[in-house]
Structure 1
């Protein structure tokens, strides 16, 4: 996702010290601990991991971008007038599963992965609902081809997919929704018809999907596949570091989670001119019924996810504010209080918690094939701010 989001003109890529023995999950008696220098790798060999999920059986799931494929389905115009770049398709994105304590991961299913001008786009996020597992996958469309044709969307691309026992089943085609309604109103001539379903959360039997290319939040009925726009994220007005007139930057929604108050919280990754401005990212609160928005936290950087921890606080993932190795996890509290609880991460994309506050973080969202990992940090919810 982030390679695509960052590159496109219209964004849619050692054990912890022990806490006291009296730690009680779900209570306030959590003894702060100092973050460890390194976590424990519980899954490796991933190709651009984008999402993690823990199920009720304490199994860890991860999803990656894949490596594209060998089937050429079109091309992208070359940069600076250069030769066209082939768009390739293959079923190389994967959903993998392993015991949360570690071990040999197994591939649950493979999904479409698109090789693009900006990198590989495939699996994004995972969520469980009513005993089923759902994922978001892919981005579409390709641009019109030199001969004037428009390639057809492959099944499972720009879609919500259910992981059935017989294989993946497409639940909702979000590109068709985007093409038919264009909720943010950006003209097609300006690249305004674009769908990249990314963050996903479950609430009251429905799926809520952050479309990183369409700049909106959608509600998907997992039974009927019906789609509805909940809210659209207007461009952010960001003041450059050196001052001057604010620049308009797309508000790219990445992560979505359900807060303790039953509202949805969405992380926004500024695209375009505002992407490089420190402190330009936000987390916004969205009423799931009305779509009304309010800023919950601001002054953040390159957010790729937000999740609620078992302590009730929100935790945001900062991808790479100053380059490789600068990613972080930030605890968000009321009144815009922000606490960096874990730093030095290499292109982190997502995180998930178990009930005692251990965090499972996907890292290496950008990197060589096979270099991605999921790392466990014990009792992260008890870490002191750095």
Structure 2
């Protein structure tokens, strides 16, 4: 297990890429152990990940490249942000793993799934990841990626998406000089996609437009905490009116982006109150997702920084710029989705805390929040994003895996139905 995370900066820097915190922990749980098999949901197959055992949850698609968050279009197409697997360079020191470099490439993508068929509709997006194996060969090259992380619809044929950075914004200059895609790291971007009724076409980087430079905003303002160097990782977004609301996991804040791209601060999130070994320090919040509730408030999940305490994550409610804890007692939450009756579903990427490996769950938080949750699905390998359609949750799993190592998946989970 890495010990460098006891460094005072580890709580923030170790959270910067959000997924990087998972892959650099010296995990004893290899990907081969983490696919649930037929039987009681939540049981983990200790055998080969590619065994012929029937999955406990139906698989929608496989072979995704570090898949993160996802969203449905109005006609039922499912869009997935793939963070990619980096590339041949230039490289910068990894913010999470001493001795490794994160190298730039254009392997990030947005994928659309239609009737079970997955096709990349936007390619050539920036991605950062180590290009050598890590942790004694347990982690393949490209497993610690920052890149496209969330996607949302803008009408029938346009989408918006966040592209993470997980580093000091000044590091982008090296990548921008190398590739026209480099300037998109740490931004909100938009693009046209082929509508369902038109012939399919794939969009390259030339068709992508930057809508807001989140990393530049953080470099100037650096709202949390001012004693540290700027750190930005635009991790999640929603459309809100004609603009966007963005959760920055590196800066621990929630931002509003106006239609003209101007960005302003909505709220910041304080460090967690729960501590646990091996660090006496309170871990930082690390907001990972934002959704708008039935009451029009924003609800924000948090991963928390090192040491990723079990039960230490909260769901924040943000109303009129004021924050309050809506739910507590969760662990390393990466995404949220509201159900049709006001219940809130949360993805825990590691149900027992990331230091114990990325075996996660989907949990249900009752209306009104609180500290009690119902486990909907468990034993999931590195689950990350969630999108609801009807009574089914669609969840990305294997979110730390590049496609060359088998990649991640989207699975379907039937949701429990309450009597109303």
Fold match (TM-score > 0.5): yes
Within a 5 Å distance, the mapping from 1:32-51 to structure 2 comes to 38-51=56-69
Q: What is the rounded CA distance, in whole Å, between the counterparts of 1:348 and 1:108 in structure 2? A: 23
In structure 2, distance between residues paired with 1:185 and 1:7: 12
1:1-386 → structure 2 map (5 Å cutoff):
9-12=13-16, 13=19, 38-76=56-94, 82=99, 85-99=100-114, 101-102=115-116, 104-110=117-123, 111-116=125-130, 119-131=144-156, 132-139=158-165, 141=167, 151=174, 154-165=182-193, 167-187=207-227, 190=228, 192-221=229-258, 223-240=259-276, 247-273=281-307, 275=308, 277-287=309-319, 290-322=320-352, 323-324=356-357, 326-333=359-366, 334-336=368-370, 337-354=372-389, 356-369=390-403, 370-378=406-414, 380-382=415-417
Tell me the number of residue pairs that the alignment of Structure 1 and Structure 2 aligns. 342
Measured after TM superposition, the shift of residue 150 of structure 1 is 6.5
Over 3 Å counting, the alpha-carbon distance change for 1:6 and 1:163 in structure 2 is farther
Instruction: For residue 37 of structure 1, report the CA deviation from its aligned partner.
Output: 6.5
Match of 2:46 in 1: none
Q: TM-score, normalised by structure 1?
A: 0.80
Instruction: Report the CA distance shift for 1:77/1:112 in structure 2 as closer, same or farther (over 3 A).
Output: closer
Q: Which has the higher strand share?
A: 1
CA contact (8 A) 1:217 1:231 kept: yes
Report what 2:25 is aligned to. Answer: none
In structure 2, how many angstroms separate the alpha carbons of the residues matched to 1:254 and 1:138?
11
SS in 1 for 2:286: strand
Measured in 2, the distance between the counterparts of 1:259 and 1:367 equals 31
Please say if residues 191 and 209 of structure 2, whose CA atoms lie closer than 8 Å, have aligned partners that are also in contact.
yes
The offset of 1:6, in angstroms, is 8.6
CA distance in 1, matches of 2:214, 2:90: 23
RMSD after superposition? 3.2
- What does the per-residue CA deviation read over 1:301-350, in whole Å, with 9 as the maximum and x for residues that have no partner? 11111111223211000001334573111111125131111111111001
Displacement of 1:176 in angstroms is 0.6
Deviations 1:190-235 (A, max 9, x none): 4x311100121222332111000010001112x3111111001111
In the alignment, what sits opposite 1:24? none
Q: Distance in 2 between matches of 1:170 and 1:312?
A: 34
